[in-house]
Chain A
Amino acid sequence: MVRLGDLHPVEAEHLLARAANMPAMGVERWLQPPPVTEATVAIVSTAGLHRRNDERFRAGSIDYRLIPGDVDFADVVLSHISANFDRSAFQQDPNIMFPLDRLRELAESGEIGGVANWHYSFMGALPDPLLLEETGEEVGRLLAADGVDVALLVPV
């Protein structure tokens, strides 16, 4: 288990400084999705994930990569640039960052309505979340247009 106090003090200080500079997003309009058992769910990750032949993320990338819902995990790689999180668990089990198998299981058991055909990945560790405003809104529109009811936002 790791909380900020368990991280290296320099990293903890950096993450706290980042928090202090983050904008309060607020909620313009409260959206109530259909019941979870009827909802189509997509994953939106900030782990810098992408398919092997996609362009790799760079430091500060503000674009996104598309990951199809039927992707084979052998084709999913990661080019996040931070050295301050561990890749070994993802190497062992991609679901620990990108829980696509788990969503498929929840859909199969009827706990969610379905799994989206497309999922999205961004590069995290940006100095200001507002840099992602434009591409974030685009992804939101794309997800909504595809009939996705819920985006499960997964950090790294």
Chain B
Amino acid sequence: MATASISLIKEQTERVNPPRALWVPFELGRPLGSAEDPQFQRNVIRAALAMLETATEPTIEDYPVEAPDEAGPGQWACPLSIAPPDTPATATGRLLAEVSRLRPWSAETRRARGRTLFGASGAAIDQVDEVVRALTSIAETGDVTSMPAGDVAWSMPPPLLIRHLADDLRTLYHEAIAARPGPDAPNHDALNQWIFTETALGEVLLAVADRLTEDGSRRALLVRGLLIPEGHYRGGSAFASGAARIEPDRR
């Protein structure tokens, strides 16, 4: 069986030197380039598969077509008003209020799409308040290893569960803003800038990151790096410096 690969990080592909690789100039997370653009996506696949008939030795080709630009930080603003009129005093209150304002919009997007990524934590969509309480409880108590309280069948124990609690809430936030699309969709940087500088979710995630720092175990520090995108943890890397990021899990 032959292989044709799409490559996002050319430097890594050059090192590995697979039989046929098509390097694409697209953002991480978008190996086919452009969402809801079947023609664009088919062309990427055609170019990769064409190498099966042209390459006779390990070959990396550059794909010459750029994906349409998305809006970066400063070019995109959240279309929804997320701060409640009377701001609750606690982080839990602020996050619950924020989620409550975004929830109907995210439901609209789920209805239109007929699918959601929500549920990585094990929570059902009607248990989103339990996801909020689990995350804020960790931020408040600093206990990053005990299973959160509540009726949810959590998908895995903390601290890695924290990563999925964050993902579920981010899914809800992404779905909410997708219900009110502007001329350009926000890119990864714009989304992160919004989450970490303008939302109660970002405030709580950074507080959880500090709790993981206080715990100090290798696993806690790894999860901190998996929780906070580069550049948003005190301006630098949320991974512990000098540590290998991920060890193999041989279960």
Contacts and interface: CB of A to CB of B under 8 A. Distances in A.
Interface in B13-58: 14-19, 25-36, 38, 41-42, 45-46, 48-50, 52-53, 56-58
B127 interface: no
A144 B1 contact: yes
B236 interface: yes
Interface size class of A (residues with CB under 8 A): 35 or more
B2 A150 contact: yes
A78 B117 contact: yes
A59 B160 contact: yes
B14 A19 contact: yes
Interface in B200-248: 222, 225-231, 236-239, 244-248
Interface string A87-105: 1111111111101011101
Contacts of A62: 248-250
A83 B229 contact: yes
A74 B114 contact: yes
B119 interface: yes
Nearest to A61: B249
Contact of A83 (B119, B226, B251): B226
A129 B5 CA distance: 15
Contact of A91 (B12, B42, B178, B245): B178
Contacts of B188: 85-86, 88
A15 B12 contact: yes
Contacts of B46: 106, 111
Contact of B35 (A79, A82, A93, A127): A93
Nearest to A94: B115
B31 A154 contact: yes
B248 A1 contact: no
A90 to B, nearest CB: 7
Interface stretch (B94-102, B128-136, B169-177): B169-177
B11 interface: yes
A145 B46 CA distance: 25
Nearest to A95: B41
Given A32-B2, A153-B3, A86 B27 contact: yes
B35 A89 contact: yes
Interface of B: 1-9, 11-12, 14-19, 25-36, 38, 41-42, 45-46, 48-50, 52-53, 56-58, 66-67, 69, 113-117, 119-120, 155-156, 160, 163-164, 166-167, 170-171, 174-175, 178, 185-188, 191, 222, 225-231, 236-239, 244-251
19 contacts: A4-B9, A4-B11, A11-B230, A22-B15, A24-B17, A35-B53, A59-B247, A86-B191, A87-B174, A89-B29, A92-B35, A97-B32, A102-B41, A106-B42, A125-B246, A144-B1, A150-B4, A150-B49, A153-B6
Given A11-B237, A59-B247, A60-B248, 11 more contacts: A19-B14, A32-B2, A61-B249, A62-B248, A86-B187, A88-B178, A96-B41, A102-B38, A102-B45, A151-B2, A152-B45
Interface of A: 1-4, 7-8, 10-11, 14-16, 18-20, 22-27, 30-33, 35-36, 39, 41, 44, 52, 56, 58-62, 73-74, 76-79, 81-97, 99, 101-103, 105-106, 111-112, 125-129, 131, 140, 143-144, 148-156
